[in-house]
């Protein structure tokens, strides 16, 4: 576990790791592309390491160049063994991104139900409808699911998603890649993670167009299979968490390695609270020594709409808002179990939060928090509790670091680099 104590305002410069949420679909896209892909800026968190292991087990060659720990070469091989048993897939949610590549390689994908953070049901029904649109067949049982490529089809695949599912959008895009068929997808998810996949596909000849109503893909001419170089973008959620920590302590910092388009909603939320923040040229700047608290209500409503607030920004914003005047509203219907994880832990620190529904709550700040023993029951709960611990009097001890490390290789170390009083302790 780690111990967190309040201290002076955080200050300095820190660089974020690559994004877990972008690395996972990009690794799946590399496998689906059927060509050598060199992927750089890969984060060293647990979920990404599991995905690399799954690719290796499923028949791809995964090599990390000497002296480049954040780079991996994903290479197709001629070995087409029977469909592998991928038991580790049960430990991460993003294992379902591998289905298109497995279908192309083995003709079927057999996977356990996806795992990851316990923040709500991980239904696969919409994914199965996507595969059915491509002519695939799916079946389920208690242990997991199976998708089978039944017979080759040609022509454009057209379907409309009933809601903007990131997972189903990735499934449709990557299945189009592995079948070489044009795609017209209505109601797509256009989160930055999807846009990075589309950017990568353009480098291998795919014509991509996307707006809030329609995502379309047109395959490249045949015969192009040369190696390509892709890069994982900086982790917008890690950047947002560090920004909230800096703001909560009244500090000033430069957070490097993050793209402005990825953190726009977070910057808008900070400005609404009266905290000067900008994102430009790969740097997120927070200057909370110049803050002028507005007392205005922050409405941190997680949204799947283009340009909406990513649900993973909500927990650190909640921890920050506990210290700022105003009555603030929070909602996350995307991950219906998250508040059930986060709110009881913040309550242990003395936070008073009114839960108006299982997915909505409000709080009035500023509040006085007191250090206590808390638990990282999922990745984002853990990062939010570190932000709260930086402003709580006394010592906050945080357990469950295995959950935190699933999404961040060393978030406590980045906070220490900014001057936070954080150390690892033996229970």
List for the chain the helix, strand, coil content (%; round to 5). 35, 25, 40
Domains in the chain, CATH or no CATH each: 2-17+234-424 (3.65.10.10), 20-231 (3.65.10.10)
Whether residue 367 is predicted with pLDDT greater than 80 in this model: the reply is yes
Helix, coil or strand: residue 267: helix
- Res 61: pLDDT: 93
Residues 6+ positions from 177 with CB-CB distance below 8 Å: 29, 32, 33, 100, 201, 206, 217, 219
* Cα–Cα distance measured from residue 360 to residue 14, given in angstroms and rounded to the nearest whole number: 33
pLDDT digits 0-9 by tens, 383-392: 999 999 999 9
| Angstrom distance (rounded) from CA 379 to CA 109 | 28
Give the C-alpha distances (Å, rounded to integers) separating 160 from 189, 304, 409: 11, 15, 37
**d(Cα 93, Cα 164) in Å, to the nearest integer?**
17
- Quote the CA–CA distance of 239 and 176 in Å, as a whole number: 32
Distances in whole angstroms, Cα of residue 231 to Cα of each of 166, 217, 257, 310: 20, 21, 12, 21
Q: Torsion-angle region of residue 34: left (phi > 0), alpha (psi -120 to 50) or beta?
A: left
At 129, list the tokens.
Answer: 């409808």
Q: What pLDDT score does 128 carry?
A: 96
Per-residue DSSP letter, 312: G
pLDDT in tens, 248-305: 999 999 999 999 989 999 999 999 999 999 999 899 999 998 888 888 889 999 999 9
What whole-number distance in Å separates Cα of residue 136 and Cα of residue 133? 7
Q: What is the mean pLDDT of residues 368-373?
A: 97
Q: Give the per-residue pLDDT at 9.
A: 97
The tens digit of pLDDT for each residue in 125-145 reads 999 999 999 999 999 988 899
pLDDT tens-place string over residues 308-354: 999 999 999 999 999 999 999 999 999 888 999 999 999 999 999 99
In tens, the pLDDT along 78-109 reads 766 556 778 888 889 899 999 999 999 999 99
Q: Which pair of tokens denotes residue 321? A: 């808002």
Host H or E run for residue 127: helix 125-133
Its pTM stands at 0.94
Q: What percent of the chain has pLDDT over 90?
A: 82
Per-residue confidence (pLDDT) for residue 80, from 0 to 100: 60
**Interstrand relation of 11-15 and 252-256 (parallel, antiparallel or unpaired):** parallel
Output phi, psi for 190, to 5 deg. -120, 40
Strand stretches in 320-382, DSSP E: 326-331, 354-357, 360-365, 373-375
Query: Of 22 and 293, which is predicted with more confidence?
Result: 22
From CA 268, how far away is CA 213, in angstroms rounded? 24
């Amino acid at each position: 576990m780690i111990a967190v104590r309040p201290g002076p305002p955080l200050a300095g410069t820190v660089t974020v790791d690559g994004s877990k949420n972008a690395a996972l679909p990009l690794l799946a896209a590399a496998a689906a592309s059927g060509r050598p892909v060199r992927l750089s800026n890969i984060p060293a968190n647990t979920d990404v390491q599991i995905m690399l292991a799954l690719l290796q087990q499923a028949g791809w060659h995964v090599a990390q160049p000497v002296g480049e720990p954040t780079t991996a070469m994903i290479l197709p091989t001629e070995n087409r063994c029977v469909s592998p048993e991928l038991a580790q897939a049960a430990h991460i949610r993003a294992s379902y991104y591998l289905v298109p590549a497995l279908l192309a390689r083995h003709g079927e994908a057999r996977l356990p139900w996806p795992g990851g953070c316990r923040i709500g049901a991980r239904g696969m029904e919409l994914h199965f409808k996507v595969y059915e649109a491509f002519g695939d067949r799916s079946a389920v049982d208690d242990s997991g699911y199976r998708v089978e490529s039944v017979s080759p089809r040609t022509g454009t695949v057209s379907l409309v998603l009933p809601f903007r599912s990131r997972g189903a959008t990735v499934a449709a895009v990557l299945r189009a890649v592995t079948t070489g068929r044009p795609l017209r997808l209505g109601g797509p998810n256009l989160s930055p993670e999807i846009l990075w996949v589309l950017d990568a596909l353009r480098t291998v000849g795919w014509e991509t167009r996307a707006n809030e109503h329609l995502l379309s893909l047109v395959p490249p001419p045949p015969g192009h299979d040369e190696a390509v170089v892709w890069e994982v973008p900086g982790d917008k959620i890690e950047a947002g968490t560090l920004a909230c920590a800096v703001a909560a302590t009244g500090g000033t910092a430069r957070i490097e390695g993050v793209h402005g388009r990825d953190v726009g909603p977070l910057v808008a939320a900070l400005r609404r609270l009266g905290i000067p923040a900008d994102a430009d040229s790969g740097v997120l700047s927070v200057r909370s020594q110049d803050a002028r608290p507005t007392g205005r209500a922050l409405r941190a409503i997680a949204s799947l709409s283009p340009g909406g607030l990513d649900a993973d920004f909500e927990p650190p914003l909640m921890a920050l808002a506990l210290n700022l005047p105003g009555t603030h509203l929070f909602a996350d219907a995307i991950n219906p179990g998250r508040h059930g994880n986060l709110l009881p832990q913040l309550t242990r620190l003395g936070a008073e939060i009114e839960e108006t529904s299982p997915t909505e709550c409000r709080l009035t700040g500023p509040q006085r928090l007191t250090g206590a023993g808390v638990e990282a029951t999922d990745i984002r709960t853990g990062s939010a509790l570190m932000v709260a611990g930086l402003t709580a009097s006394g010592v906050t001890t945080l357990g469950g670091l295995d959950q935190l490390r699933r999404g961040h290789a060393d978030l406590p170390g980045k906070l220490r680099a900014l001057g936070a009083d954080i150390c690892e302790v033996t229970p």
